[in-house]
Amino acid sequence: MPLSERAVTVQASPIRRLAPFMLQARERGVKIHHLNIGQPDIETPKAYMDAIRGFAEKVLAYGPSDGLPELKKAISGYFGRYDIAITPADVQITLGGSEAIQCAFCIVGDPGDEVIIPEPFYTNYNGFAAMVGLKVVPVTTRAENGFAMPPIEAFEKAITPRTRAILVCSPNNPTGVIFTPEELDELALLAKKHDLFLIGDEVYREFVYEGSRPKSLLELKGVEDRVIVVDSISKRFSACGARVGALISRNQELMACALKFAQARLCPPTIEQLGAIAAYKMSPDYFEPVREEYRRRRDTLYEGLCHHPGVLLKKPMGAFYMIARLPIDDANDFAQWMLTDFQLDGETVMVAPADGFYATPGLGKNEVRLAYVLEVPKLHRCVDILLKGIKAFNKA
Amino acid sequence: MPLSERAVTVQASPIRRLAPFMLQARERGVKIHHLNIGQPDIETPKAYMDAIRGFAEKVLAYGPSDGLPELKKAISGYFGRYDIAITPADVQITLGGSEAIQCAFCIVGDPGDEVIIPEPFYTNYNGFAAMVGLKVVPVTTRAENGFAMPPIEAFEKAITPRTRAILVCSPNNPTGVIFTPEELDELALLAKKHDLFLIGDEVYREFVYEGSRPKSLLELKGVEDRVIVVDSISKRFSACGARVGALISRNQELMACALKFAQARLCPPTIEQLGAIAAYKMSPDYFEPVREEYRRRRDTLYEGLCHHPGVLLKKPMGAFYMIARLPIDDANDFAQWMLTDFQLDGETVMVAPADGFYATPGLGKNEVRLAYVLEVPKLHRCVDILLKGIKAFNKA
């Protein structure tokens, strides 16, 4: 009674391996600063909470499989404010951005087909690909270039007869990079040339600290029917526990297929969608102070680390992550050691070793992903702990 | 840029085809009684609603991927009250029973592998199988036998080298049948003999109107590590819109794999789990009046239809569905005609043609699935409308 190959081989969360060491440190009374996970500490909007608490129906019934019409409308209205014209028919509400990715994978390919993704990438793409039998083919971006998109030839070289789609996450988790309009235009041409879909994970689109608003794949010309965008309220409205996201495409044949898969799982959570409607109806002004707060946090962590000898870190432009190359041999050993052997006045820092974000074995060995989801004074403290930790680790 | 084969070929909801006719009838002012969907009208428990409205955190954060520990404990406690010993470690909270089925499929087989399911079956199994690349192999149950489980030889005949699991839903959607302890024991022997998993969809386990409590797969001896049970609060607590379910197995290697897939999609909805905890902590007395209400409804619909000439309908034992063979040629035509051409004093009934619940083409042509989720006086009215509708349809 063997378990399936995909179940056995699918990558476990690369962060999870460290959890027992984290718990032991906590038991020893060590205070742990979490730079390892992207759980924002920003308060969920009051409008969201009020909508949830105000739920007055007697029966918590199934909603429509594609989501509440008012939420689909609110999301198309949100994009409309950025002059991105989509209609409610182009939107399907999903169980977080997670389900949107999984559904997109299901629709673009059959088992054995391939999807190209710039690495390092959000590790959970691996899980969704394994579930639906797709193969992830990485195209490497490098710390030396600030994880900028590789030349388009690198993508073209990765294309095989089984390639069905290219997925880009911008602003990027885990690198914080934002792909330029020109880079995305080149991807659009490539997608047309090789008859591919383009999947955009754009859940961090509001979290941008440099330059103008990032270009959405929905703004690319000539590939309107090839583009699938993954969206989510988790980070945008600090509502990670809601599990409300969206799959967006103007390809109505594709949306009809998405609906068939959506019908199988019945509907997204009803009450949480009411919260999401309220959040999407807020003024865009809501994002300003949030963005400012994250910008300060980014600057704190970046400035604190980038001048340190041996640290390779270009200024990230968006999302709330960065990948730093550290003057250490092995980031897994270092991350574990910071929990098991190090403390500064009873405090330590938990980081995510970056190798788990690469599909190519051997890459990211001396890199860590840092999430700046803590307040500025705490981040100053984290920098201090990290730098002293690196020094001590190299002497140990 | 073709869509995937699975996306194109996956069955759409067999009920959905009728939706436009339903909307047109509604626009004409016809009142439609819905016997076509399993949306209970029973009120969601006050304890559930209170827990949701009482959510007082400032940040709606990610919860654990396997669900809130208190909910896992509450569910193992619930089974413990029926002398079914499971521990919280045997429970993973899922996004409705839907995700539990999908996850089970992912774990028991790889693309191309097969799962045997008695037909007619819950149509959404098709969607999950398509998503993860499994093939559903039906074993036919028949209206003439009240949809009783076929002889074990029928299952054995359906086994191939690619068979990985047998799925049984008991109490059954769509037939209302409950498989006997002896039948399940035979299945257990077969699973051992052919090294298969047994998946039990037991979301209707509280909805039983005849005989003793249905046996759970979790009570089978000698196959503890082969059994996966799918559970859900949707029907049990009339909380369909919550999207909270559970995957239950004592096979810890299997649960570790389930956790890896769960980590990919981060967590189940946080607030809804608080509602579920409150619901599971209610006294088992809660179910008595609910069960009585459904029993009266079943009796109303069954007694109203079973004596009519040409109707083939054995008394269903559980869940809140029945499949009736009607004296008509084509249930799809009939269901549509009831919406487009028939009314009794401005009212009509919407039924689900049963052919969509069969995997074998041609079966169920003159059968309909009826869900008794309406109050008794309304069901009396439905019987009247249905019988007069059948008569008029056959003259039309």
DSSP B148: P
Which residues, other chains included, contact B23 with Cβ-Cβ below 8 Å and sequence gap of 6+?
A: none
Separation of alpha carbons B227 and B247, rounded Å: 10
Residue that is written with structure tokens 């009450």 in the block? A271
Cβ separation A131–B131 shorter than 8 A: yes
Distance from CA of B263 to the nearest CA of A (A): 7
pLDDT at residue number A199: 98
Q: A337 vs chain B: nearest CA distance in angstroms?
A: 24
| Final residue of a structural domain among A284, A305, A332 | A284
Average pLDDT, chain A: 95
Maximum Cα–Cα distance across chain A: 64
DSSP B229: E
**B30 and B84 together in one domain:** no
Give residue A333's pLDDT. 96
Q: Are residues A28 and A113 in the same domain?
A: no
Nearest CA in chain B to A68: B241
The residue out of B257, B284, B311 marking a domain boundary is B284
Of A263, A284, A305, which residue constitutes the final position of a domain?
A: A284
Q: How far off is chain A from B161, nearest CA to CA, in Å?
A: 12
Contacts of B197 in chain A (CB under 8 A): 1
Pair A183, A323 in one domain? no
B50 and B39 within one domain: no
Instruction: Determine the structural domain holding residue A382 and report its residue range.
Output: 5-43+287-395
Q: Which of A24, A36, A38, A27 is nearest to A339 (CA)?
A: A24
Segment B239-296, tens digit of pLDDT: 999 999 999 999 999 999 999 999 999 999 999 999 999 999 999 899 999 999 999 9
Model confidence, pTM: 0.94
Interface probe for A, chosen from B271, B273, B274 (most Cβ of A below 10 Å), is B271
For residue B371, give the 3-state DSSP assignment.
Answer: strand
Do A104 and A92 form a contact (C-beta atoms < 8 A)?
no
Task: Report whether A128 contacts A115 (CB < 8 A).
Answer: no
Please state, in angstroms and rounded to a whole number, the distance separating the CA atoms of residues A49 and B58: 9
Confidence bin at B48 (pLDDT 50/70/90)? very high
Q: What percent of chain B has pLDDT over 90?
A: 93
pLDDT of B53-85, one tens digit each?
999 999 999 999 999 999 999 999 999 999 999
* Residues in A touching B259 (Cβ below 8 Å): 12
Q: Which of B37, B53, B60 sits opposite A44 (nearest CB)?
A: B60
- Could you give the C-alpha distances from B180 to A109, A316, A395, B176, B219, in angstroms and in order? 41, 62, 68, 13, 13
Query: How far A191 CA sits from the closest chain B CA (Å)?
Result: 9
Q: Do A176 and A324 lie in a common domain?
A: no
Question: Nearest CA of chain A to the CA of B385: how many Å?
Answer: 26
Phi then psi for A368, rounded to 5 degrees? Answer: -130, 150
B224 with B321, same domain: the answer is no
Asked if A136 contacts A126 with a C-beta cutoff of 8 angstroms, the reply is yes
Asked if A254 and A327 sit in the same domain, the reply is no
Predicted local confidence at residue A210, as pLDDT: 84
CB contact under 8 A, A12 and B260: yes
Residue B12 pLDDT more than 90? Answer: no
Give per-residue pLDDT as tens, A94-131: 999 999 999 999 999 999 999 999 999 999 999 999 99
CA A40 to each of CA A138, A324, B79, B263, B293: distance values in angstroms, whole numbers, following the listed order: 28, 20, 36, 18, 46
Which chain B residue is nearest to residue A40, measuring alpha carbons? B61
SS3 B199: strand
Nearest by CB to A1, from B62, B128, B197: name it.
B197
Predicted local confidence at residue B14, as pLDDT: 73
pLDDT means per 10 residues, chain A with 396 residues, are: 91 81 95 91 94 92 94 97 96 97 97 97 94 96 95 98 98 96 97 98 95 92 97 95 97 96 93 96 93 97 96 96 97 97 97 95 96 96 98 94
Record: contact A111-B111, CB cut-off 8 A: yes
| Contact indicator for B306, B315 with CB cutoff of 8 Å | yes
Q: Which of B247, B287, B273 is nearest to A271 (CA)?
A: B273
Whether residues B59 and B159 fall in one domain: yes
Cβ pair A242:B269 closer than 8 A: yes
> In this complex, do A60 and B242 lie within 8 Å of one another by their Cβ atoms?
yes
Q: How far apart are CA B378 and CA B373, in angstroms?
A: 10
Closest-approach residue (CA) in chain A for B265: A98
Contact criterion met (CB < 8 Å) for A127 and B52: no
CA A21 to chain CA centroid, nearest Å: 25
3-class DSSP state of B203: coil
The proportion of chain B whose per-residue pLDDT surpasses 70, expressed as a percent, equals 100
Let me know whether B244 and B103 are in one domain. yes
When divided into structural domains, chain A yields a total of 2
**CATH, residue A185:** 3.40.640.10
A34/A155 same-domain check: no
pLDDT of residue A88: 98
- From chain A, the residues in CB contact with B17 under 8 A are none
pLDDT at A1: 79
Q: Is the pLDDT of residue B15 over 80?
A: no
Residues of B in contact with A96 (CB under 8 A): 265-266
pLDDT of A323 reads 97
The residue with greater pLDDT, B41 or B326, is: B326
Average pLDDT, chain B: 95
Q: Residue A267 and residue B111: Cβ atoms within 8 Å?
A: no
Mark whether B169 and B298 lie in a shared domain. Answer: no
pLDDT band (50, 70, 90) for residue B361: very high
The CATH number of residue A328's host domain is 3.90.1150.10
- Give the tokens for residue A311: 């640290």
Phi, psi of B7 (to 5 degrees): -70, -40
Mutation target vs B (from A192, A266, A373; most B CBs, 10 A cutoff):
A266
Query: How far B123 CA sits from the closest chain A CA (Å)?
Result: 8
- Structure tokens belonging to residue A277: 């409607």
* Average pLDDT estimate for B206-227: 94
Contacts with B9 from chain A: Cβ below 8 Å:
none
- Residue A12 has a pLDDT of 82
Contact B272 A267 (CB under 8 A): no
- Residue B196 and residue B95 in one domain: yes
Say which of A13, A109, A127 has its CB closest to residue B4.
A109
CB atoms within 10 A of CB A40: 26
Q: Which of B258, B265, B269 sits opposite A99 (nearest CB)?
A: B265
The C-alpha R_g of chain B, in whole angstroms, comes to 21
SS in 3 state form for chain A?
CCCCHHHHHCCCCCCHHHHHHHHHHHHCCCEEEECCCCCCCCCCCHHHHHHHHCCCCCCCCCCCCCCCHHHHHHHHHHHHCCCCCCCHHHEEEECHHHHHHHHHHHHHCCCCCEEEEEECCCCHHHHHHHHHCCEEEEEECCHHHCCCCCCHHHHHHHCCCCEEEEEEECCCCCCCCCCCHHHHHHHHHHHHHHCCEEEEECCCCCCECCCCCCCCHHHCCCCCCCEEEEEEHHHHCCCHHHCCEEEECCCHHHHHHHHHHHHHCCCCCHHHHHHHHHHHCCCHHHHHHHHHHHHHHHHHHHHHHHCCCCCECCCCCECCEEEEECCCCCHHHHHHHHHHCCCECCEEEECEEHHHHCCCCCCCCCEEEEECCCCHHHHHHHHHHHHHHHHHHHHC
Q: How far apart, in whole angstroms, are the C-alpha atoms of residue B270 and residue B272?
A: 6
Query: Given B107, B254, B264, which is nearest A128 (Cβ)?
Result: B264
Contact A10 B260 (CB under 8 A): yes
Mutate to test the interface with B, among A1, A41, A110, A121 (most CBs of B within 10 A): A1
